[in-house]
Chains A and B, each alone.
Chain A
Amino acid sequence: AQTIHQWPVAEIKAVGSPLSLGCTIKGKSSPNLYWYWQATGGTLQQLFYSITVGQVESVVQLNLSASRPKDDQFILSTEKLLLSHSGFYLCAWSLEGERLFFGHGTKLSVL
């Protein structure tokens, strides 16, 4: 069975500090991977997607970057957090033309 694990579950960070969020998918070879952001009470905004190791496409610019160092790992990061980065970050995976499955998310509070 496929599992998706996101870490950390929650973070409280200071403005200007760095951030790294991670996501690991087990049980699926070469999945498409995605990062989403959700403001409190809002809809989902896709940030990045990756269809293969080492390749990441940006969907929207929010002063964030993403990397896929391994087939089963997707990292979201920034060197300097902004207040506007607060929210809920979700990692997801899918196969081509199939359903999208989400991790449990990371709640980020930037103070």
Chain B
Amino acid sequence: GDQVEQSPSALSLHEGTGSALRCNFTTTMRAVQWFQQNSRGSLINLFYLASGTKENGRLKSTFNSKESYSTLHIRDAQLEDSGTYFCAAEAGDSNYQLIWGSGTKLIIKP
């Protein structure tokens, strides 16, 4: 069955506001990565976390392996934040395969 449940599937924010995306895992994961896919299809790696919290500008991500979830917080959203966000997790049994969430389509409105 699905091992990564990503929510919400779509989100619309006004510029300057913020929100959180979440991935729940149904099995123990060793690490999680978050990506932004822009309108051209390019995937940008935002974070790699084996535990804890990381922050980069207006983005902050947390990975709690014990409680099996990860979050990506966006604050002060800008138009260029629009795109599809994916989480991808490393399960304990494979070093070379990631398990991907289904994505969150984020639209930032002026």
Neighbour of A51 across the interface among B86, B96, B101, CB < 8 A: B96
Distance of A38 Cα from B103 Cα, bound (Å): 12
Whether, in the assembled complex, A57 has its beta carbon less than 8 Å from a beta carbon of chain B, the answer is yes
Tell me the residues in window 66-106 of chain A with beta carbons closer than 8 Å to chain B beta carbons. 88, 90, 92, 96-102, 104-105
Whether, in the assembled complex, A32 has its beta carbon less than 8 Å from a beta carbon of chain B, the answer is yes
Distance of A82 Cα from B89 Cα, bound (Å): 30
Distance of A20 Cα from B22 Cα, bound (Å): 37
Given contacts A46-B98, A88-B41, A100 and B103 within 8 Å (CB-CB)? no
Whether, in the assembled complex, B43 has its beta carbon less than 8 Å from a beta carbon of chain A, the answer is yes
Interface residues on chain A, number (Cβ under 8 Å) = 24
Residue interface mask B81-104, A partner, CB < 8 A = 1: 000001010000001111011110
Contact B42 A49 (CB under 8 A): no
Contact B45 A100 (CB under 8 A): yes
Tell me the residues in window 39-62 of chain A with beta carbons closer than 8 Å to chain B beta carbons. 43-46, 49, 51, 57, 59
Distance of A7 Cα from B40 Cα, bound (Å): 15
In the complex, chain A residues whose CB is within 8 Å of the CB of B33: 99-100
Contact B41 A100 (CB under 8 A): no
In the complex, chain B residues whose CB is within 8 Å of the CB of A100: 33, 45, 88, 98
User: Chain A nearest CB: distance from B100 CB in Å?
Assistant: 5
In the complex, chain B residues whose CB is within 8 Å of the CB of A38: 41
In the complex, chain A residues whose CB is within 8 Å of the CB of B98: 46, 100
Contact B86 A43 (CB under 8 A): yes
User: Chain B nearest CB: distance from A60 CB in Å?
Assistant: 10
Distance of A23 Cα from B31 Cα, bound (Å): 26
CB closest chain-A residue, reference B43:
A102
Binding site for B on A (CB under 8 A): 32, 34, 38, 43-46, 49, 51, 57, 59, 88, 90, 92, 96-102, 104-105, 107
